[in-house]
Structure 1
């Protein structure tokens, strides 16, 4: 048995070399098993590569598989039946259950048990402990290591409680997936598959303890083991001559590979196995014809480093934001694919779908990749741009099923029971789209429930009524909801709650009754057949959702099936399962651009790589990933020989290594870009890698991305096939008066404009316009041209349409006229389309205004009926009249008021404001000679085209010197200030029209009424800072000697300030004798 290390730099041809070697051996030894063990996400690609290299098109004795799959192959061979294997979803659900059960025993983590994501963090730590062989016996040693670090001790106390409970829960029932390899090692000696096999380990940056244990076993039974490692060959020179002191030649970039060799050497020595090294140089590797990328590979992260004058294959870029960055990448991808198309019209025709099939093309999309250190931020932007440009792509990112319509449907059912049929939960259930209830019926029912404040099972189980009628549609929806949820609701009513299995059965029955699986399948197939690439991706994802839900159900049933949990705990555990369940990322096709993450995404055979988002806030990606043990904790354990996953200190070199691998993947070109505005950053800065690369090359500089600064057809075309360029160009030239309102001037693409950048742009844009016109869509260009000239292609409503919308005679209030003056579209929406805000079961601003108006009317009418002046109504009599007015005004809102205790305070506040209003109005009347003449006076003014209606809140009248003077007061509950300019603009017409209408209709013949003023009065009880002017009593000790401040009594100054705040706002006739009518002191 021999162990071979295949050593070489990135791109040196290690994988190709070992594959060719093994294929050759496999063809000679057809009875021997050859096993390529690679990371899970690399298996399919490795299988394809082996098949493509095989002369026969296939090899029965070669297999490419992961460590986990190898274990299952051995178990299948030997007929070994393992307990159920726990994967992430099952682990998370168990941990969630245990956290809820043991919450009261926890100390530092007690308050975090229900925090989103906490169960996943605890699960990850427990899985890490299993992976690194940390069992319960280790906890005592870890606590001793913690010393006087009390917080760490508290953490370990809580973690041990959950770890112990977890271990007890799974004992004899389940096995962790981290333990599967160890279980295989226990039976490895019986496996014929492993005996005499040749094993290749490729694609790993290092191994876990379980994997090293597996390799140890393979050394005992395999014929040969080949380990492929990325490492500079000069670091292992002399190894084959017996010099094995590799770690002494420590290089920070390849430290992980060197440590791996060191551990493998220890295993080889233990098993008395010979080792050897096969080195690969760069002469026949990836960069044999690319000196600038060769120089990058040989010098990046090396000390000392050399400089080169050739940087032709490397481009560093800065963008103003992520949008511009993504636009450049998309435009450049298009250029790379169509780079042999030199004719402008040919490129444009191909871009717009009008070119011929035999147009020359460059490289394929599959030869291009985009990497980023922050796929969560850049993925959606890149996906949107690539979809818009019609570029096939694959986002290498898994999504969970939480948030999908089917999961929302399940979640809402449990919420309905937990919240006792709350408004939000019921309509989440209905809007999920699986109940077969008509959307319009759902909307009508929602408006009805919203308006009538219906909540709780008691209300839903009784017939809906509105003004003594029974609305048919709404009651039909109510009955269907109750029918669907009856069994689930009934199961939760007994004191003994159902088991987890019984709950899952009821939920599945509901899904079956609503045909959720069939509906998801039909929608998935429809979307997969769509012409829209985004729909096709969504369709593929939807096709996996129901199976994922069933798997979560099966998993929770196998874990907790017979247990009886409170419903809220059951829901939390189920939610945890949905958050862990992932949808597989499936490429749309082989010829696609890969968009991935620097660490997770495995790339090979890429000609060009774009590295987006190279900002210092993103790279290096060494930020904390939310572990319960922080870096200080981990480093303390590492220093005391307690091995866990790499610390941040270790990850620093690991991040460099991942960066090195990413930078050295392309064979032709490398683009790195950063954004000057990245996320919440005020000013984005380039990552450290920019400086490292610039140091390696003479005259290499960061270029600014600008789509219109160079004569680059692809940048001009952008990510939307030229439409944005056309719009920008037309807008720019319209401002200069160069655009005419026809398309003839823009369809000539054959003018000789070479050598002129502006001319080149015009040529490209003219070509785009011409191709669109040729594609039988001239109306689009016509609209763009007219839009750029500021012209609207739409006309006003026809008289016939206006009559259908508004009627022959416009009927409305002054408020309607003001609304039209302020926004014609708002008027059209409300009065033409009849759009209205939903009626809500509450007392809002509009209702509040009506209540105050009605209460003031009732109060004034009561005084008028008994011929009592406002100034004569004081003390308890006024209080009684105010209370009566309030009760009368609130009579139609009693159901709302009695529905919530918060309205008790509302009534108190209402009474205070009314009392303040009546007090101020009384004082204002008392200051002058006016008295209240008319209250809530309605009027109607008609003409052939309009019927105008209105209500004048109050008209004060005084007769003086044979004349009748009046003033108009309009009550307002909001902040309305009189503005003469708004009157002129038609935005404040009420006072003016009220004044004219009062003069014309309210008085008897011969009275000769004259307007003395028109005013707004704001109904309010303002808060005044009365510190300086109050008569606050001094601090007086109470019986216990504690000083207390007596309540402040408003001073005359404070009262004066309140009068000032609530003075009427408007216009007064400026004659001295009339001014005195308002205030005799003036």
Structure 2
């Protein structure tokens, strides 16, 4: 019996005529069986349509409007296998999933790695197993046998049509193909194997009682074609719908580039030319399916593709206004405005023109780029929609749980893995409410981050304390009692610790003991079952069902079933083989990455969101093709295949010459040739209207260009471009933005902002909408909150006197660095020292920790020298080593440094800090020979710190009863004797390079050295420095960096120069003063001080160094006092300013701030501006200070 062909263009109602054919045949042959094969993607809708048409054509077949039939089956090719083979033992074997295929191939490559050097070497590359599996599937769908492949390889080699590397690759592929088919058949079955089996079964059976119809297939693979031919040969009546211009049959010599795909299908079925098809089998469709405008579009599309003369406008099918109404092009400012316009349009059409949501089909070539925006705006506008995009399972909480558990099994326990597992809430402590668990887990996270808990520390049952898991208390040490809140937290944390230690301790012991793959799979399942994870999945499923979310309710069950399927496949393939955790993790990860959720629409009346490449059922009325840009339409993506394009072309050409009924998939060039027809199907996927939309800009990319396909259509039909703006224009229709109450808020606020900036009132219509929204019971509160943002300024509210008193009291105790922080950014000071906000404590050695260690180390060193009456210059290397060892032991025994005895990176920090500190002690001994001053006092405290009182600090009485006390700690004071004059200097240790900067000091950014000088001067009597004159205040850089190589380098001299004092050198008016400070600088530059020598000028402060006279120092100290008082006065005033300083683009008051997310500083806002501080030189600053003193002698 000849195959019947229902033919027509996309504009023709092929489906309708096929449905009529089915109906007529169904009634005419009541004893026979009917099968309609459709692509799996449209099976459900096709079944509804066919049964509906059957009832329409023959009402007697329906009962009360309901029709059912056991003789009519609507199936996909995969369901056809079930239909014919469901009782066959072959079909009862486990189905080969993509994950099982990857597992099997991994095992096969491992076992045959000697025979497969090329493929085994690629086996661990991400995606390779999937690629190999796809290639094997393609061979089977192409109807290849191992013998076919071997013959092909041999012939290509003889004819030298492929390179040697290709022959080697094909030879390995052939070896795998043979093993794959043989070994898979022992444990699994695949659709391709079942199809081959069905072919063999069909050849021995009578199918004359079957009518088989095929609808909606753009192409067939070789197995499907072979089955169609075989069924036809065994008596089945075959009817196939094809997109093909019926008039081509009347022109035997005509060639149609456009219909190449359909003509190829006919050739594969044995019809090399259309006249060979019997007239009775040729059934042209007359009835049109689409509007006249879309008919005109397809006619033009076919003509222009074939290079034929195009029809002039207007056409016979539609007038020009109709065409412009039914074929539209929208250009949006952005992707968001594009999607908003689509949502508004759909809402309008449903509300005003009696459309249903299911009448709309939204297509895109890049759906993932649009998914989040569509979801947000469609929900905002209350538009039900269903996306047929497969939702990957890889990010489901259960999958993340399994991945985290396996990571914990594979490597030392890390906080990131543990938190990922616990945050899924699939492992819960008994008798603990979920809200309490979440709170306690937050506490545990903070504790673990603070103390850097990793590895075995989690698994040890030693109790954790407030001071951390590593701290060892001395017997004589008094441990303060925790507060009630602290006690509550540490108890909860310790309970979680013991619970986790028990669970994961047992799990890791069990995992370590397994021998085979089966053992591990059993242990893994037992862990999930015994610890309540499986039960928790059931709770999730029930909760979602109770809330009516059937789609969400399916996810736990589907994920669990997928996991069990993966375990079953793993045991089936690997069974009693030795267990390899790395391989198992790779296989499970690949399995979940290739597994997707089955989805069901929440409602039948919903907009369909789909990919351009998906086959549609043509039941929609309007297609909206979004993202119609040059990059997306046509699709520019390329497939990466194991057999590449050139190899594929050679192989297919050879097989074609041999007239073999086997074939690989098409090359990219062949697929490109079929793109016009594919997109023609897309353009006519609905019956009435086609709208192209695209964003002009997206994600900062250059301006998008319109698709060349759409550009052709626009030029031919002279279509206008509708501009879609991010915000309403004065001439915009209100309805274009007011699709819903929630949806109109955004555009309304944008418009309100523009009119507010222009000092204009809202247009009357928009003001009416604003009034309705403000009074709306559902959206009113939300709208008013957002409306307030128009008048929001990023300016902090001012503190009341009561606020100030609560935060600071009437007596402000502040360190120098805190007041420097105030001048960097007043609001940062308020957050840090007023509200006392601080970042989360982390287990790390930061700059502050490092600096404290260095200070303590050098303090111990200087004090040990004094206690043991040792001369720094006379120390031997052995003595220095002993001293350093003693200091290191002492410091590491102190609580504040026990962090350095912790695990991991703390070993490195301990070594580095000790090494640098020991190096600096050697520097101090070398510096001792270059100064007449010797260490006198260290860690000199002034003002109260931590309840201890040192020297009197700087005290300032402010206006009213308010006071400022400046406190701090001076690292070192040295004293010496110059001639008969006692002198002293201040040394401040810095772990970073620093020097005295007049500009920073003038603006309050560098108050430290001047404050120290003032403090010592005020307390000279207490320090027994009554008659002493200051040499200066200096920074000493603490660092152990290698010296740059120089020829004839003098190492010791270079090391001293690298650690030269940098700060404020006071040029006292004493004879030979500068030449005497460094005894080693005899008619030469000082290595330690910024003092230069020339024969002409003698000793001078080195050029570029910061030297001042006593008079200049007084000016600077007065300015420093003024800055301290000014800062405190503003703090007490309660006036808050977000005013970070800016000296350059690289240096601002926000550079190192921890509070940027709170301040939300934006220099583009008029209320947020940097305090631009001009750079001033020493002379400018001192001149300014002199003028100020002249103007105000009391300043």
Report the TM-score when normalising by structure 1.
Answer: 0.83
Match of 1:588, SS? coil
Distance 1:592 1:272, change over 3 A: closer
In the alignment, is the contact (CA less than 8 A) between 1:87 and 1:177 conserved in 2?
Answer: no
- The worse-fitting range, judged by mean Cα deviation, of 612-621 and 899-908 is 899-908
- The worse-fitting range, judged by mean Cα deviation, of 827-836 and 11-20 is 827-836
Q: Following superposition of structure 1 onto structure 2, how do residues 54-69 of structure 1 map, counting pairs within 5 Å?
A: 54=55, 55=59, 56=62, 57-60=66-69, 61-69=71-79
In the TM superposition, residue 574 of structure 1 has moved relative to its aligned partner by 2.1
1:999 equivalent in alignment to 2:999: no
- The worse-fitting range, judged by mean Cα deviation, of 602-611 and 366-375 is 602-611
Distance 1:678 1:236, change over 3 A: farther
Among candidates 342, 349, 359, match of residue 336 of structure 1: 349
1:723 equivalent in alignment to 2:745: yes
Distance 1:539 1:857, change over 3 A: farther
1:393 equivalent in alignment to 2:385: yes
Aligned to 2:934: 931
Aligned to 2:441: 442
Match of 1:86, SS? coil
In the TM superposition, residue 596 of structure 1 has moved relative to its aligned partner by 1.3
Match of 1:363, SS? coil
Match of 2:5, SS? strand
Report the Cα distance in structure 2 between the residues aligned to 1:975 and 1:138, rounded to whole angstroms.
75
Report the Cα distance in structure 2 between the residues aligned to 1:940 and 1:885, rounded to whole angstroms.
28
In the alignment, is the contact (CA less than 8 A) between 2:458 and 2:501 conserved in 1?
Answer: no
- The worse-fitting range, judged by mean Cα deviation, of 248-257 and 706-715 is 706-715
In the TM superposition, residue 929 of structure 1 has moved relative to its aligned partner by 4.3
1:202 equivalent in alignment to 2:215: yes
- The worse-fitting range, judged by mean Cα deviation, of 93-102 and 201-210 is 93-102
1:304 equivalent in alignment to 2:296: no
Q: Following superposition of structure 1 onto structure 2, how do residues 213-228 of structure 1 map, counting pairs within 5 Å?
A: 213-228=226-241
Distance 1:473 1:1050, change over 3 A: farther
In the TM superposition, residue 5 of structure 1 has moved relative to its aligned partner by 0.6
Distance 1:387 1:784, change over 3 A: closer
In the alignment, is the contact (CA less than 8 A) between 2:6 and 2:284 conserved in 1?
Answer: yes
In the alignment, is the contact (CA less than 8 A) between 2:773 and 2:779 conserved in 1?
Answer: no
Distance 1:490 1:150, change over 3 A: same
Report the Cα distance in structure 2 between the residues aligned to 1:631 and 1:545, rounded to whole angstroms.
37
In the TM superposition, residue 405 of structure 1 has moved relative to its aligned partner by 1.2
Distance 1:225 1:805, change over 3 A: farther
Measured against aligned partners, the alpha-carbon deviations of 1:94-128 in whole angstroms (never above 9, x if no partner) come to 22333344456543344432222221111111111
In the TM superposition, residue 572 of structure 1 has moved relative to its aligned partner by 2.1
Aligned to 1:1044: none
1:116 equivalent in alignment to 2:126: yes
In the alignment, is the contact (CA less than 8 A) between 2:409 and 2:508 conserved in 1?
Answer: yes
Match of 2:743, SS? coil
Among candidates 775, 778, 784, match of residue 777 of structure 2: 775
Aligned to 1:254: 259
Aligned to 1:84: 94
- The worse-fitting range, judged by mean Cα deviation, of 414-423 and 826-835 is 826-835
Distance 1:904 1:114, change over 3 A: same
Bigger Rg, which one: 2
In the TM superposition, residue 92 of structure 1 has moved relative to its aligned partner by 2.2
Distance 1:77 1:504, change over 3 A: closer
- The worse-fitting range, judged by mean Cα deviation, of 379-388 and 522-531 is 522-531
- The worse-fitting range, judged by mean Cα deviation, of 390-399 and 288-297 is 288-297
In the alignment, is the contact (CA less than 8 A) between 2:624 and 2:691 conserved in 1?
Answer: yes
Aligned to 1:854: 856
Match of 2:106, SS? helix
In the alignment, is the contact (CA less than 8 A) between 1:934 and 1:956 conserved in 2?
Answer: yes
In the TM superposition, residue 947 of structure 1 has moved relative to its aligned partner by 7.4
Q: Following superposition of structure 1 onto structure 2, how do residues 366-765 of structure 1 map, counting pairs within 5 Å?
A: 366-437=358-429, 438-452=437-451, 454-457=453-456, 460-465=459-464, 466=469, 467-468=471-472, 472-485=491-504, 488-494=507-513, 497-524=514-541, 526=543, 541-542=555-556, 544-621=558-635, 623-641=637-655, 643-677=663-697, 682-698=702-718, 707-709=727-729, 710-717=731-738, 721-737=743-759, 759=763, 763-764=765-766
Measured against aligned partners, the alpha-carbon deviations of 1:464-503 in whole angstroms (never above 9, x if no partner) come to 4533589654443343234434554343334xx3443332
In the alignment, is the contact (CA less than 8 A) between 1:957 and 1:966 conserved in 2?
Answer: yes
Aligned to 1:8: 8
In the TM superposition, residue 1060 of structure 1 has moved relative to its aligned partner by 6.1
In the alignment, is the contact (CA less than 8 A) between 2:972 and 2:986 conserved in 1?
Answer: yes
- The worse-fitting range, judged by mean Cα deviation, of 164-173 and 440-449 is 440-449
Match of 1:609, SS? strand
Match of 2:1035, SS? strand
Report the Cα distance in structure 1 between the residues aligned to 2:187 and 2:778, rounded to whole angstroms.
68
Report the Cα distance in structure 1 between the residues aligned to 2:1050 and 2:305, rounded to whole angstroms.
76
Among candidates 114, 127, 137, match of residue 127 of structure 1: 137
Match of 1:628, SS? coil
Distance 1:59 1:439, change over 3 A: closer
Measured against aligned partners, the alpha-carbon deviations of 1:639-672 in whole angstroms (never above 9, x if no partner) come to 2216211111211123332211111223333222
Among candidates 84, 88, 97, match of residue 74 of structure 1: 84
- The worse-fitting range, judged by mean Cα deviation, of 647-656 and 26-35 is 26-35
Count of paired positions: 1002
1:285 equivalent in alignment to 2:275: no
Distance 1:801 1:558, change over 3 A: farther
Report the Cα distance in structure 2 between the residues aligned to 1:235 and 1:476, rounded to whole angstroms.
81
In the alignment, is the contact (CA less than 8 A) between 2:13 and 2:288 conserved in 1?
Answer: yes
Aligned to 2:32: 32
In the alignment, is the contact (CA less than 8 A) between 2:626 and 2:693 conserved in 1?
Answer: yes
In the alignment, is the contact (CA less than 8 A) between 1:326 and 1:385 conserved in 2?
Answer: yes
Q: Following superposition of structure 1 onto structure 2, how do residues 854-1003 of structure 1 map, counting pairs within 5 Å?
A: 854-868=856-870, 870-873=872-875, 877-878=879-880, 880-882=882-884, 884-891=886-893, 909-910=912-913, 913-914=916-917, 917-918=920-921, 927=930, 929-941=932-944, 949-958=967-976, 966-974=984-992, 976=994, 978-980=996-998, 982-983=1000-1001, 987-1001=1005-1019, 1003=1021
In the TM superposition, residue 39 of structure 1 has moved relative to its aligned partner by 0.8
In the alignment, is the contact (CA less than 8 A) between 1:1003 and 1:1009 conserved in 2?
Answer: no
In the alignment, is the contact (CA less than 8 A) between 1:130 and 1:178 conserved in 2?
Answer: yes
Distance 1:831 1:791, change over 3 A: closer
In the TM superposition, residue 931 of structure 1 has moved relative to its aligned partner by 3.4
In the alignment, is the contact (CA less than 8 A) between 2:10 and 2:298 conserved in 1?
Answer: no
1:47 equivalent in alignment to 2:47: yes
Structure 1: segments with no counterpart, 5+ residues: 239-244, 341-360, 740-745, 747-758, 1032-1048
- The worse-fitting range, judged by mean Cα deviation, of 222-231 and 136-145 is 136-145
Structure 2: segments with no counterpart, 5+ residues: 315-319, 430-436, 474-486, 656-661, 945-952, 956-961, 1078-1088, 1092-1098, 1101-1195
In the TM superposition, residue 46 of structure 1 has moved relative to its aligned partner by 0.5
Q: Following superposition of structure 1 onto structure 2, how do residues 266-281 of structure 1 map, counting pairs within 5 Å?
A: 276-281=281-286
- The worse-fitting range, judged by mean Cα deviation, of 54-63 and 946-955 is 946-955
In the alignment, is the contact (CA less than 8 A) between 2:1036 and 2:1060 conserved in 1?
Answer: yes
In the TM superposition, residue 866 of structure 1 has moved relative to its aligned partner by 4.3
Match of 1:611, SS? strand
Distance 1:314 1:114, change over 3 A: same
Distance 1:1050 1:723, change over 3 A: farther
Report the Cα distance in structure 2 between the residues aligned to 1:105 and 1:796, rounded to whole angstroms.
79
Match of 1:84, SS? coil
In the TM superposition, residue 810 of structure 1 has moved relative to its aligned partner by 6.8
Among candidates 1032, 1037, 1040, match of residue 1018 of structure 1: 1037
